[in-house]
């Protein structure tokens, strides 16, 4: 479940969640409810992509090793000023495709969205 701001849909002339921040090619909206603040919605999403939603840290690290990137990522994370990223790298139990720390690591490696998706597809096979 995520929180999304309220948006006036000019085509239907009604309020609904502002879905522009969600990749609807990867997510399906199961439902949503207006929050008590009357300004945002709680949205129930379901992952529908063929790209794996999560991989284990072991799968991710093995994939980085196969690509010859593990040492560089370990060094970049170690030297990062982002404490949350360092905690995620060391202690996470899963790497979810939509996690902000996965996006940060992909950015460090200059990986595109498609490359990151392919990374998850291949890592899931390990």
Instruction: Kindly state whether residues 84 and 115 are assigned to the same domain.
Output: yes
- pLDDT of 60 higher than 80: yes
Supply the range of the domain harboring residue 36: 2-47
Instruction: Kindly state whether residues 39 and 65 are assigned to the same domain.
Output: no
- pLDDT of 59 higher than 90: yes
How many alpha carbons lie under 13 Å from residue 123 in its C-beta half-sphere? Answer: 26
Instruction: Kindly state whether residues 30 and 67 are assigned to the same domain.
Output: no
Tokens 């690591």, located at residue? 105
Averaged pLDDT, 41-66: 89
Instruction: Kindly state whether residues 65 and 37 are assigned to the same domain.
Output: no
Predicted local distance difference test score (pLDDT) of residue 1: 75
- pLDDT of 94 higher than 90: yes
* Count of the separate structural domains present in the chain: 2
Buried b (16+ CB within 10 A) or exposed e, 96-115: ebeeebbebbbeebebeeee
- pLDDT of 51 higher than 80: yes
Instruction: Kindly state whether residues 75 and 116 are assigned to the same domain.
Output: yes
- Helix residue ranges, H only, 5-125: 57-66, 70-79, 83-91, 100-108, 113-124
Instruction: Kindly state whether residues 8 and 60 are assigned to the same domain.
Output: no
Residue pLDDT, tens place only, 95-123: 998 888 899 889 888 999 899 999 999 99
Instruction: Kindly state whether residues 58 and 39 are assigned to the same domain.
Output: no
Instruction: Kindly state whether residues 24 and 66 are assigned to the same domain.
Output: no
Averaged pLDDT, 82-95: 92
Instruction: Kindly state whether residues 95 and 115 are assigned to the same domain.
Output: yes
Query: Which position has the higher pLDDT, 117 or 49?
Result: 117
Instruction: Kindly state whether residues 67 and 105 are assigned to the same domain.
Output: yes
């Amino acid at each position: 479940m995520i929180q999304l701001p309220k948006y006036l849909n000019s085509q239907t002339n009604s309020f609904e969640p502002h879905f522009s921040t969600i990749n609807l090619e990867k997510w399906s909206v199961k439902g949503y409810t207006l929050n008590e603040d009357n300004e945002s919605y709680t949205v129930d999403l379901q992952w529908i992509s063929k790209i794996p939603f999560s991989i284990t840290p072991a799968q991710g690290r093995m994939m980085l090793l196969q690509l010859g990137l593990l040492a560089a990522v370990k060094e970049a994370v170690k030297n990062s000023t982002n404490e949350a990223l360092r905690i995620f790298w060391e202690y996470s139990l899963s790497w979810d495709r939509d996690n902000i720390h996965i996006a940060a690591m992909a950015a460090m490696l200059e990986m595109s969205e498609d490359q990151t998706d392919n990374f998850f597809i291949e890592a899931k096979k390990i």
